[in-house]
Structure 1
Amino acid sequence: MLTVADIMTKSVYSLRETDTLLSARALMKLQRIRHIPIVTKDTMFIGLLTHRDLLSATVSQLAEVDPETQDEIDAGIPIKEIMRTDLKTVEPGATVRSAAEILLNHKYGCLPVVDKGRLVGILTEADFLKLTISLMEALEEKSQG
């Protein structure tokens, strides 16, 4: 049976609650990610910041705020002001099916993977797409063989 540890992303970009929205925005853009787990200095998971959270904290473009001013605003807002703390996590030994059901039922884009409170990975929709592709390839090979 497949476990979360089998398909999760192990190298995770994370930030601390004292980092700013500016650093979160820069990290998301640079690494092309949409979810940033927030951890303490000893990697204890304490929250999550999503691209959607960043968008909702951004001054509307209708307000005609130039990018430099937006950066100044973002540099003064710590992540702890907008990060989510009321979300589910999953353990590395959980089944892929149970994790998929949590993602689907709660309409999450990711699940932080924690072991004894420490962040050890992240499970995203992309991880499930990779799994789907490999399963489809296996089925194609089986039907051709």
Structure 2
Amino acid sequence: MIIERRMTKNPVTITPDASVVEASDLMKKEKVHRLPVLDKDKNLVGVISEKDILFATPSPASSLSIHEMAYLLSKLTVKKIMSKNPVTISKDTPVEEAARLMVDQDLSCLPVVENGKLVGIVSKSDMFKILLELFGARHFGVRVSFLVDDKPGTIAAVSRVISDAGFDIISFGTFMGTDPSNAICTIKVQGCTKEKLTSLLSPLVKEILDIREA
């Protein structure tokens, strides 16, 4: 899966010279937590987030009056507090590479750029939606996690025995196991009972860790 298929296309944007108040109002109106910042030539020059605005807002303990604080914020522009030169990705970036970048660099979003122009944005919320989709969270079935030896053919054997029994695997994920010699797999199967799935998998896996209807 590439990011183009799951990014938010044509995201709401703002200009560098807009006020912080305008940015805050636009986020509330559009129900977003961050805005890409585009210059007059539509080039991406930064990203402003709710957190940026929060840090720029005077503390409630300030001696300034409400009117004074509102005035100062109205004069503060987006370009003064935005995150400049944001990390970007292309629309053909794999979703797992986008997720790795966000985790490794502690990013809340990644603008998607093509030929220097913004074409989309992907956020942590988008990544959670992908996770839900990956694990078939919106589809009912039997979900089972099990420990297997990390060797060629193991996953193929599991898939084959379920398919040969006439059941449908709707999600299949693999994770690091308890040591380098094994892996943990989590699958969701439709049309099968917990008891039947246990009997099919037990001869093939080291241990069934969890099984439930979900």
Q: Distance in 2 between matches of 1:67 and 1:10?
A: 37
Specify the code of the residue in structure 2 equivalent to 1:56. F
Q: Which moved more, 1:93-102 or 1:129-138?
A: 129-138
Cα shift at 1:105? 0.3
Specify the code of the residue in structure 2 equivalent to 1:44. N
1:91 corresponds in structure 2 to: 90
Q: Distance in 1 between matches of 2:98 and 2:77?
A: 30
Cα shift at 1:31? 2.0
Identify which of structures 1 and 2 has the higher relative contact order when contacts are C-alpha pairs closer than 8 Å and 6+ apart. 1
Q: Distance in 2 between matches of 1:133 and 1:66?
A: 46
- Cα RMSD (Å) of the superposition? 1.8
Local SS of the residue matching 1:47: strand
Q: Distance in 2 between matches of 1:4 and 1:55?
A: 30
Local SS of the residue matching 2:8: coil
Q: Distance in 1 between matches of 2:85 and 2:116?
A: 14
Specify the code of the residue in structure 2 equivalent to 1:69. E
Larger radius of gyration: 2
TM-score (norm 1): 0.90
Specify the code of the residue in structure 2 equivalent to 1:39. L
Q: What percent identity do the matched residue pairs reach?
A: 27
Q: Extract unaligned runs of 5+ from structure 1.
A: none
Residues 60-114 of structure 1, C-alpha deviation per residue, up to 9 Å, x if partnerless? 1111645443332111011111111132101101111111111000010000111
1:111 corresponds in structure 2 to: 110
Local SS of the residue matching 1:54: helix
2:72 corresponds in structure 1 to: 73
1:9 corresponds in structure 2 to: 8
1:59 corresponds in structure 2 to: 58
2:26 corresponds in structure 1 to: 27
Specify the code of the residue in structure 2 equivalent to 1:6. R
Q: Distance in 1 between matches of 2:46 and 2:91?
A: 18
TM-score (norm 2): 0.62
2:81 corresponds in structure 1 to: 82
Point out 4+ residue stretches in structure 1 off by more than 3 angstroms: 64-69, 138-141
Q: Which moved more, 1:80-89 or 1:132-141?
A: 132-141
Specify the code of the residue in structure 2 equivalent to 1:31. E
1:144 corresponds in structure 2 to: 190
1:132 corresponds in structure 2 to: 131
Specify the code of the residue in structure 2 equivalent to 1:114. V
Specify the code of the residue in structure 1 equivalent to 2:86. L
Does the Cα contact within 8 Å between 2:45 and 2:85 map onto a contact in 1? no
Question: Number of residue pairs matched?
Answer: 144
More helix per residue: 1
Q: Distance in 2 between matches of 1:124 and 1:86?
A: 17
Q: Extract unaligned runs of 5+ from structure 2.
A: 142-168, 170-188, 192-214
1:18 corresponds in structure 2 to: 17
